[in-house]
Amino acid sequence: MKFIKNFFERTEPLVQKGGKYHWLQSVHDGFFTFLYTPKTTSKTGAHIHDYIDLKRTMSIVVLSLVPAILMGMFNTGYQHYKVIGELASTGFFEIFVFGLIKVLPIIIVSYAVGLGIEFVFAQIRGHEIQEGFLVSGMLIPLVMPIETPLWMIAVATAFAVIIGKEVFGGTGMNIWNPALVARAFLFFAYPAQMSGIKVWVAGSQTADAITCATPLGDAAAGTISYTASDAFFGLIPGSIGETSTLAILIGAVFLIITGIGSWRIMLSTIAGGAVMGLILNAFADSSALSEANQVFFGIPFWHHLILGGFMFGAIFMTTDPVSASQTQTGKWIYGFLIGILAVLIRVINPAYPEGMMLAILLMNTFAPLIDHYVVQSNIKRRLKRATVKGQTA
């Protein structure tokens, strides 16, 4: 692959200031530094250099998503052949290829639109291409129903990049998780196309007699249509990458080992969801609740952790280093409140039997406030300690 590196090094003078293709400097630099470690060094000040940079960090997160991506592709084919009654006669390879063909265009559209906009903004500003979309470009397809039209994926991606990130200054400056901004935009702008029972299974839009609601949707209606093992392994209807708890946990281990994802946020989010699930279980037999609500309230707390987008959000969304809390204590508070709110929204609001997206976006908004009070508390505690020591002396 040395010829690729030689090509970039040979063409580098052409894109520098004053060069024939200077207007392509950001694009050239973006591809060059993505493939190879930058050879530039710091010019002023004292810096600590590490082997990892933002591109490498984002690449690790994408690698951790691979199990969820592959399982999402398989489950797409699995659910399709299941609802048309041909699952028993269809082999693994055919199931996976069907899912691959359905999922791959969504990923391509997400990256094409998002990176295209990133390139344009980088050129306009004369800055390096920001690498944050390497992860967002994969997260956006994974949080979408499989029957989401490609034009809607494109519109949502453009909205997430421009309104959710670039208006704040780009990568590292955004308030909310861009992938969830895309999901929320579609949910509120096109509710008819993003809800119902036929958006979760490929091909079900044309099959009038087929019903394929998600387990959370059924639970909200007072029925249980899943087994715990199906939910854990991911053989249930849902957003493309959110169904398999096993695949998500494999990615979590990778993130924790590499130090990229915050285990404090992951653990506290799961703890918050479990606590709220237990609280709601205590009221499941209340006579004030309808029969359907008693079913939803009575779902075992650990079922909430393996249903819907809870675990996917806890591992990949809450740990976004930009929109999450930054202080160590703040991470515990931030994650715990997300878990509490996610399960609370699910159960209390029957019209929207999934609360992870809204819980994370809400706590993204309050993350700076949490960090502010944590820092102020530390300052006050240290000032008090210093005052006591001064008086003792």
Contact 365, 334 (CB under 8 A): no
- Is a pLDDT exceeding 60 seen at residue 120? yes
Rounded to whole angstroms, the Cα distance separating 76 from 328 reads 38
Count of beta carbons in the 10 Å neighbourhood of residue 347: 25
Would you say the C-alpha torsion 41, 42, 47, 53 has a positive or negative sign? negative
- Is a pLDDT exceeding 90 seen at residue 334? yes
Least confident of 93-102, 140-149, 251-260, 288-297: 288-297
DSSP letter at 325 equals -
Chain segment 88-114, per-residue pLDDT in tens: 889 999 999 999 999 999 999 999 999
Q: How far is CA 303 from CA 94, 226, 274, 299, in A?
A: 31, 10, 9, 7
| Residues in contact with 335: Cβ distance below 8 Å, sequence separation at least 6, in sequence order | 264, 265, 266, 267, 268, 269, 271, 272, 314, 318
> What pLDDT, on a 0 to 100 scale, did the predictor assign at position 71?
95
Rounded to whole angstroms, the Cα distance separating 9 from 205 reads 51
The H-assigned helical ranges of the chain are 2-15, 25-35, 54-83, 92-125, 133-142, 150-162, 178-189, 215-220, 228-233, 245-258, 263-281, 291-297, 301-306, 310-312, 328-348, 356-392
Compute CA 32 distance to the chain's CA centroid, rounded to the nearest angstrom.
Answer: 27
Q: Is 203 left (phi over 0), alpha (psi -120 to 50) or beta?
A: left
Mean pLDDT of the chain: 83
DSSP letter at 129 equals P
> What pLDDT, on a 0 to 100 scale, did the predictor assign at position 186?
92
Q: How far is CA 5 from CA 9, 38, 65, in A?
A: 6, 11, 28
Give the three-class secondary structure for 200.
coil
Confidence of residue 209 (pLDDT cuts 50, 70, 90): very low
- Is a pLDDT exceeding 70 seen at residue 146? yes
Contact 224, 307 (CB under 8 A): no
Least confident of 176-180, 288-292, 312-316: 288-292
Residue showing tokens 């994650």: 335
Residue type, 183: R
- Is a pLDDT exceeding 90 seen at residue 279? yes
- Is a pLDDT exceeding 90 seen at residue 69? yes
Chain segment 293-317, per-residue pLDDT in tens: 777 788 888 988 998 889 999 999 9
Chain segment 215-227, per-residue pLDDT in tens: 777 666 666 667 8
> What pLDDT, on a 0 to 100 scale, did the predictor assign at position 83?
87
